């Protein structure tokens, strides 16, 4: 497939600002093995194989300038990546997913779609609602009810829909179909510092 270049976003900065993380001298996002795009393994539970490679990235951990590793939680607010329109909402494994369509005039001419999963949408966020980059559309879902014993986190996916893609009947499995969606690595358009840790790192073993 031809390489696709998308403009950088301020999503990292917006997520920091939306949750007041600058007050604790935010240093960098932390991604354990399993949290990054296309990873075949889980970062929770038995750390075994996923049923499908990871469709996006998971925001859960960050490090402050005192070297403490901290966590997002169910009070954490979720901003929108770019200007767009909410096109779909559905229940996912841990909460709800909010899907936003963005017009794009770069190399990926036409539409791109961002998926914000495992969330609790804000009041007033509904299908057809226009949103601006940085608008708060949800909080992270409370996962304490989950049998998977997984921490609250924001799953972010990014993709380019095919001509045959439709929002009607959209469910999670839809984004795994290459004939309907070309998934992209969201980390490529996220601003700000980050560090990937291996599965043996103590911070990853403890979650």
**The predicted structure's pLDDT at residue 3:** 43
Model confidence at 2, pLDDT cuts 50, 70, 90, reads very low
Model confidence at 22, pLDDT cuts 50, 70, 90, reads confident
pLDDT tens profile 79-132: 999 999 999 999 998 999 999 999 876 544 578 999 999 999 999 999 999 999
User: Is the dihedral angle over the CA atoms 101, 167, 154, 96 positive or is it negative?
Assistant: positive
- What are 92's two structure tokens? 């996912």
Superfamily for 11-205?
Glucose Permease (Domain IIA) (2.70.70.10)
* Predicted confidence (pLDDT) at residue 139 exceeds the cutoff of 90: yes
Model confidence at 62, pLDDT cuts 50, 70, 90, reads very high
- What are 155's two structure tokens? 């799953």
**The predicted structure's pLDDT at residue 54:** 97
Phi and psi, residue 152, nearest 5°? -60, 135
Q: What is the bridge-based pairing of β-strands 194-197 and 69-71?
A: unpaired
Contacts of 4 (CB under 8 A, 6+ apart): 107, 108, 160, 182, 184
**The predicted structure's pLDDT at residue 9:** 86
Local structure of residue 49 (DSSP, 8 states):
B
Instruction: Report how far residue 127's alpha carbon sits from residue 58's, in angstroms, rounded to the nearest whole number.
Output: 24
**The predicted structure's pLDDT at residue 5:** 55
pTM of the predicted structure, to 2 decimals: 0.93
Model confidence at 189, pLDDT cuts 50, 70, 90, reads confident
How large is the average pLDDT for residues 42-56? 94
């Amino acid at each position: 497939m031809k390489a696709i270049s998308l403009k950088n976003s301020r999503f990292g900065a917006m997520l920091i600002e939306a949750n007041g993380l600058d007050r604790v001298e935010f240093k960098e996002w932390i991604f354990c093995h399993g949290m990054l795009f296309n990873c075949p393994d889980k970062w929770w539970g038995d750390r075994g194989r996923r049923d499908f490679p990871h469709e996006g990235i998971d925001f859960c951990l960050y490090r402050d300038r005192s070297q403490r590793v901290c966590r997002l939680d169910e009070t954490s607010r979720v901003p929108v990546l770019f200007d767009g329109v909410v096109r779909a909402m559905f229940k996912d494994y841990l909460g709800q997913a909010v899907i936003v369509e963005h017009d794009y005039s770069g190399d990926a001419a036409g539409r791109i779609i961002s998926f914000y999963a495992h969330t609790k949408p804000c009041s007033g966020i509904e299908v057809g609602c226009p949103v601006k980059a940085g608008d708060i559309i949800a909080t992270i879902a409370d996962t304490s009810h989950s049998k998977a014993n997984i921490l609250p986190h924001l799953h972010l996916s990014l993709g380019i829909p095919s001509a045959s893609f439709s929002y009607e009947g959209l469910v999670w499995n839809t984004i795994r179909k290459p004939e309907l969606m070309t998934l992209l690595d969201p980390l490529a358009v996220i601003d700000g510092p980050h560090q990937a840790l291996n599965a043996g790192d103590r911070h990853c073993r403890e979650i």
